[in-house]
Every structure is written in structure tokens, then in C-alpha cells.
Amino acid sequence: MKSLGSIRRDFAPWNDPNAKPYIQFENVTKKFGDFTAVNNLSLTIFEREFFALLGASGCGKSTLLRMLAGFEEPTAGRILLDGQDLRGIPPYRRPVNMMFQSYALFPHMSVEKNIAFGLKQEGMPAPDIEKRVAEMLKLVKLEQFAKRKPHQLSGGQRQRVALARSVAKRPKVLLLDEPLGALDKKLREETQFELMDLQQNLGLTFVVVTHDQEEAMTMADRIAIIDKGEVMQVATPAEVYEAPSSRFVAHFVGNVNMFEGKVAERAANTTRITGATGAQIVVENNTDTAAGSNIVFAIRPEKIKVTSKKPADAVNALEGEVYDVAYLGDMTVYHIRLDDGQIIRASALNAARVTEDPLTWNDRAWVSFRPDAGVVLTR
Amino acid sequence: MNATWSRFNVTSVVLGFAFLYLPIVLLIVFSFNESKLVTVWGGFSTKWYVSLFHNQGLMDATWVTARVGVISATVATVLGTLAALTLTRYTRFRGRILFSGMVFAPLVMPEVITGLSLLLLFVAVGLDRGFVTVTLAHITLTMCFVAVVVQSRLVSFDRSLEEAAMDLGATPVKTFFQITLPVIMPAIVSGWMLAFTLSLDDLVIASFTSGPGATTLPMKIYSQVRLGVTPEINAACTILIAVVAVGVVIASVANKRREVQRQLDEQAAQRG
């Protein structure tokens, strides 16, 4: 069976028409003075989902999170949590907790007091608090740091305290604002998997805001790509990458080559495209495009093969010259200047230590790809 | 950095410090003078310190000053902190610039004018001049200094701490007392100390607003000096200097220690 991407998922309530939505943004608009941060946005998030809001800074993704937490009220529209309208409910009465980008650890309290803070507010008896705090410290592996103050911890430890504090109350939803933003690369990768395990084990709904596409791709069940306060696409990481809905999404997530062109001919299964500079491309049908309409053909670099001779069986093959080569160890990136002037980025996985068909600067080269390797975009 | 001391550097340091401290040193030295004549050295003696404590007028004035200082500094700290909170938190209300200007204007207002206007006010409302009026006047004087100190701390205060507390279920009132107040406490304490010190050494405003039975120490010293400086006054001033110096030294040593400890902790944390 064919599937987009490499993972086949069992958890997919968004495909089930009977699934009950857990968090609903309904036509939400948020204005700050004249500036519209969120523009008539609707989104549905399901229970136990790991949902990512991905976008550049200032796109409105943090505002969405802050509206869910109760720090901002929507100017128009409404937000529902488990069927309940959240309008007018202050942050301290909402069953959601947030992990802040700056961690916001209380500097005058020890680690255990920080974790116990939320439990004390809800009037939990002291012995229960003690038990829960111990449990949380064990969860984030900080047992021996219970008495330390935040400034006596490293960045990674602070991040874990913030996490423990925000899940200590067992919220219905955990909101994470750039949770790994302040960590270095190696620690960030480790922590991504820890967060995923935690979400699985606690069975919570996670909504994470991030500007790091790799982070969103790694962790999330679904990603909403936000631009200028609007949702561009909501889909699984594989769909976002392999079937972007627009040029913006294709550009935003990963690298992509784009061919501007027109639909020349539409057959039963395939469409022939004529590029603006004359290239002829045959693609499998994935959109309803009539002959003659203007489209963009988008293809990822790793789906393009670079060879010194024209492959005999290739449906799509374009000739050019090697313009740049970068050897990255695990793969090699080629920039090929086609004879029509367009520069194509292609990457080849270095599956063996030696290459049969080495290429270097200014060599003649062919780029080829299968009819199902790219997508036709109309937006 | 060049660590050698040129003759020019040494001279300027000596002159500078002499300019600052020679009068004070002279005052301290003459407080131990045996002679009754202030400017003639008659041998070492501590008798003026003994007689100081038998001078009922000076003792009363000290007591008045201490009470005025504590009460006015405390009230001014509460009011100044509230003003600072409002000015840093509600940055969008109409007339904010005018309002913040009005809070800080007394900083640069000539004391004579503050004193005189307060005097006119007290007379107009028929408030008898005395302990209450001096205290009120000192609250007016010192409140804006507290506001400045606390505001400078609040500007760098991370608002997400408050949001985190509310997110975890603390009401705004609880958030203020459990999070905001403890975090800005050092600034509030320094604001209080500043207010107390200002109240302690104010002469001008106190002279305008004080009445019989509420003579502060600076007023007492000033009036005695007009009748001729006695070594007793030198002794009183020396004690005042000692009290202030000890306070400053303790505060800065404690501060320095905390800072060093913090740096050590952070280095230890980074090492893991």
C-alpha cells in the first residue's frame, strides 16, 4: 500500500468524521490597535493530539496560544475547549497550562516549590502535593535538584523544571511556547523525543508553537502553518512536505524547486506541463487543472536524480551544467544550471562510500525525476 | 590596563578625596577635642559624647527624627511602589506622560518651594503644625524617589512570571503577593532606605512644616549652631556619620556576597 511519507499512523481522528473536536477556534480574529494579529482563523484540534503551530516570528502563532491560555481575548469569534466557550474565563480558571518560552521559573522559589505552586493554588492537601512533586521530579529526572533555586540550574535543567511545573496539575491541554528555543542543537534533539514520550505517557493534548520546521515535523501529529494571522495548511508532517497546498507552504517547509508554467495537455492519469522557459514535464494528476491554466510545478531536491548521461528510461529529463557542488557527508547537494537558465537544487544520499558517477564543477549533467515526484500548485 | 601610578594620578586622587572628606574628618577629629573652643585643639577627650546623652533637647529631636523617618519612609514606600506599578503596567492610558511627569517633578522641585507650598496648604486646611505635618511633608518629598527606584526594577521585571503564576491558578491578588512582591522586594527595601535617609537629613521642608514639640535633629543642630558651634554638635554628627557608614558598609558587603555566590552557583550549574 502506498502512503505519503514514511510513517503509517493509527492515530488520525482528523480523518474520522465522527470524532469530537477538543479545541476549536471558530472564526477567531485578534486585533492590537490597527494591527491584525489573527485574521478570521478556524482550527480544530483533537484530544491527545500533538499539534504544532508553525510560522515565522510575528505571524500570530503565539497570539493563538495566548488566547487559548486566557492572556488575550479574541476581538471576534470564539474558542471552545471540550465544547465549552472560553470567553471571559480568566487564565487562572482555565484547565490549560502553559510552558513559557523564557520558562518563567519563579526565581525566589526552589525547584520543588516551583512545581508545587500550581498544586497549592488549587488547595491540594500537603501530603498529596509532596507525592505529586516527587513524581514530577522523577519524571524529568531532577530528583537531586529539588532544593536548588532556578539560577543554580543549567539551561536544560531549567527547561525540565518548567515542563514539570506545567504538567504537575494534569491540565487538559498543555501549551508550549517555543519549548526548545533556548537549548543548544544536541540537547534540543534529545528533548524533542522526551517531549513526545511524555505526551504519549501522560495522554495529554499538546499544542506547541514553534518557528523551527524540523522541530514541528519531528514531534507533531499535525502541523498548522500560519502566515499573517491565517492558516495556510493543516496537515500531517508528511502531507505538508509531500503535498503542500500552496507555494508558500512548499517554500516554508524544506527546500523546493519551482517551475512556473502552463498546463499543456491533460490526459487520464498524467498532465503535461510546459515550463515558462520551454521545459516539458509530465506529472501524475493530483489537482484539477484545466489545459491552459497557469500553474507552478514544485519538486523537492532529494527527488531529483543527477547523472552525467541521460537515463534511458526517464520520463522527465532536463540537461544542464553543474554550477555548484557541496559534499555534506551524509549527502551531496548539487546546483545544476539548466540550459534554459534556471538553477535546480538536487541532493543525493551518499548510500555508498564511493560514487560510480562523480560530477564536478562545469560538467554536463542531466536531472531526471519520476512523474509522481513533484506536485502541481495552483496557489 | 596600565597599572602604574603617575604623579598626576596620585595628586588628583588625593585632592579629590581631600575635597570630599576633609570637612568630615575635621568634624570627627574636633568631636574628640578636650577644649570647648571648636577650632583650638586642647587634647583628646570623649566628654562631649557623654554630655550629648544628657542633652535632653538633642535626645528628643533624635527621637522625633527617627519616628518621622520610619513612618514617612514606610508610607512613601507603599505609595511610591503603587505609583511605579501603575506607571510601568498601564502604558496606554491617556495622559500617562503628564502623570509620570507629575510624579517625578518633586525630584527637581526646589525644597523651599515644596516646603512653602506645604506650609500654605496646612495653614489653609487648618492643620496644626507639628509631628503630623512634618511626616506628611516628608511622605510628599520621598514618595517620588521610591517610585523611581521601584520603577527601574519593574522595567526589567519579566511579566511572564506573573502570567505563569496566573496560568497555574493564582488569582491576580495572590500573584502580586506571592510572585511580584517577593521579586521586586530588594528594590522596595532600597527605596525605603533612600526615603528614610532623605527624611533623616531634611532641614528645609521640616523647618517650614514643623511646629512646637516636633523639632527634628537637623533643625535642632542648625538652631544650636546659630548660637555657636559646640563640640557636642560635632559628637552628634559623628555618631550620625557612623550610623550611616555602618549601614552602607553592611548593605554593600551583603550585596557583594550575594552577587559572588550567585556567580559561583551559575558556574556550578553550567558545569552540571
C-alpha to C-alpha distance for A325 and A333, rounded to whole angstroms = 6
Q: Quick one: fold of A255-377? A: OB fold (Dihydrolipoamide Acetyltransferase, E2P) (2.40.50)
Residues of B in contact with A108 (CB under 8 A): 182-183
Interface touch B269/A104, C-beta < 8 Å: no
Residue A237 touches chain B, beta carbons under 8 Å: no
φ/ψ (deg, to 5) at B208:
-70, -40
Report yes or no: B162 and A159 within 8 Å, Cβ to Cβ: no
* The pLDDT of residue B272 is above 60: no
* The pLDDT of residue A7 is above 70: no
Domain residue extents for chain A: 13-251, 255-377
Confidence of residue A1 (pLDDT cuts 50, 70, 90): low
List, by residue range, all CATH 1.10.3720.10 domains of chain B: 55-230
Q: What is the pLDDT of residues A191-246, one digit of tens each?
A: 888 888 888 888 889 999 999 888 899 889 999 999 998 999 999 998 899 889 89
Q: What is the pLDDT of residues B216-262, one digit of tens each?
A: 888 888 888 888 777 888 888 888 888 888 888 887 888 888 888 87
* Coil vs helix vs strand at A300: coil
**CATH architecture for the domain at B55-230:** Orthogonal Bundle (1.10)
Report yes or no: A360 and A309 within 8 Å, Cβ to Cβ: no
Alpha carbon of B268: minimum distance to chain A alpha carbons (Å): 7
Same fold, A13-251 and A255-377: no
Alpha carbon of B171: minimum distance to chain A alpha carbons (Å): 6
Q: What is the pLDDT of residues B122-154, one digit of tens each?
A: 999 988 888 899 999 999 889 989 998 898 888
Confidence of residue A154 (pLDDT cuts 50, 70, 90): confident
Please report the pLDDT score of residue A6 as a whole number. Answer: 65
* The pLDDT of residue A155 is above 90: no
The distance of Cα A106 from the centroid of its chain, to the nearest Å, equals: 30
Interface touch B269/A157, C-beta < 8 Å: yes
C-alpha to C-alpha distance for A312 and B192, rounded to whole angstroms = 87
- Which chain A residue is nearest to residue B162, measuring alpha carbons? A104
| Average of per-residue pLDDT across B179-200 | 89
Q: What is the pLDDT of residues A317-334, one digit of tens each?
A: 888 999 999 999 999 999
Residue A151 touches chain B, beta carbons under 8 Å: yes
User: What would the grid cell of residue B113 be?
Assistant: 518651594
Alpha carbon of B205: minimum distance to chain A alpha carbons (Å): 39
Residues of A in contact with B181 (CB under 8 A): none
| Average of per-residue pLDDT across A6-16 | 76
Please report the pLDDT score of residue B24 as a whole number. Answer: 86
Interface touch A151/B269, C-beta < 8 Å: yes
Supply the pTM of this predicted model: 0.79
Residue A229 touches chain B, beta carbons under 8 Å: no
Angle CA(A17)–CA(A20)–CA(A21) in degrees, nearest 5? 105
C-alpha to C-alpha distance for B131 and B139, rounded to whole angstroms = 12
CATH superfamily of A13-251: P-loop containing nucleotide triphosphate hydrolases (3.40.50.300)
Please report the pLDDT score of residue B170 as a whole number. Answer: 92
Interface touch B167/A151, C-beta < 8 Å: no
φ/ψ (deg, to 5) at A377:
-115, 135
Please choose, from the candidates A294, A221, A304, the residue with its C-alpha nearest in 3D space to the C-alpha of residue A15.
A221
B183: nearest CB among A90, A96, A108: A108
- Which chain A residue is nearest to residue B259, measuring alpha carbons? A151
Please choose, from the candidates A86, A98, A200, the residue with its C-alpha nearest in 3D space to the C-alpha of residue A139.
A200
User: What would the grid cell of residue B63 be?
Assistant: 527621637
Q: What is the pLDDT of residues A85-116, one digit of tens each?
A: 989 899 999 999 999 988 999 999 999 999 99
Alpha carbon of A251: minimum distance to chain B alpha carbons (Å): 33
Burial class (CB in 10 A: 0-12, 13-18, 19+), A220: buried
**CB neighbour burial string for A338-355, b if at least 16 within 10 angstroms, e if fewer:** beeebebbbbbeeeeeee
The distance of Cα A194 from the centroid of its chain, to the nearest Å, equals: 17
* The pLDDT of residue A264 is above 60: yes
Residue A157 touches chain B, beta carbons under 8 Å: yes
Residues of B in contact with A92 (CB under 8 A): 166-172
In a mutational test of the A interface, the residue from B157, B168, B258 whose CB has the highest number of chain A CBs within 10 Å is B168
Cβ neighbour number for residue B181 with a 10 Å cutoff: 13
Report yes or no: A5 and A237 within 8 Å, Cβ to Cβ: yes
A92: nearest CB among B170, B265, B269: B170
C-alpha to C-alpha distance for B154 and B148, rounded to whole angstroms = 10
Interface touch B163/A157, C-beta < 8 Å: no
Residues of B in contact with A150 (CB under 8 A): none
Report yes or no: A50 and A200 within 8 Å, Cβ to Cβ: no
User: What would the grid cell of residue B18 be?
Assistant: 581631600
Report yes or no: A353 and A328 within 8 Å, Cβ to Cβ: no
Residues of A in contact with B165 (CB under 8 A): 106, 117
For chain A, helix (H) and strand (E) counts, in that order, are 8, 20
Residue A117 touches chain B, beta carbons under 8 Å: yes
> Is beta strand A84-85 parallel, antiparallel or unpaired with respect to A76-81?
antiparallel
Which residues make beta-bridge pairs with B80? none
Residue A91 touches chain B, beta carbons under 8 Å: yes
In a mutational test of the A interface, the residue from B156, B158, B166, B167 whose CB has the highest number of chain A CBs within 10 Å is B167
- Which chain B residue is nearest to residue A91, measuring alpha carbons? B167
Query: In terms of pLDDT, which residue wins out, A183 or A239?
Result: A239
User: What would the grid cell of residue A34 be?
Assistant: 490597527
Residue A153 touches chain B, beta carbons under 8 Å: yes
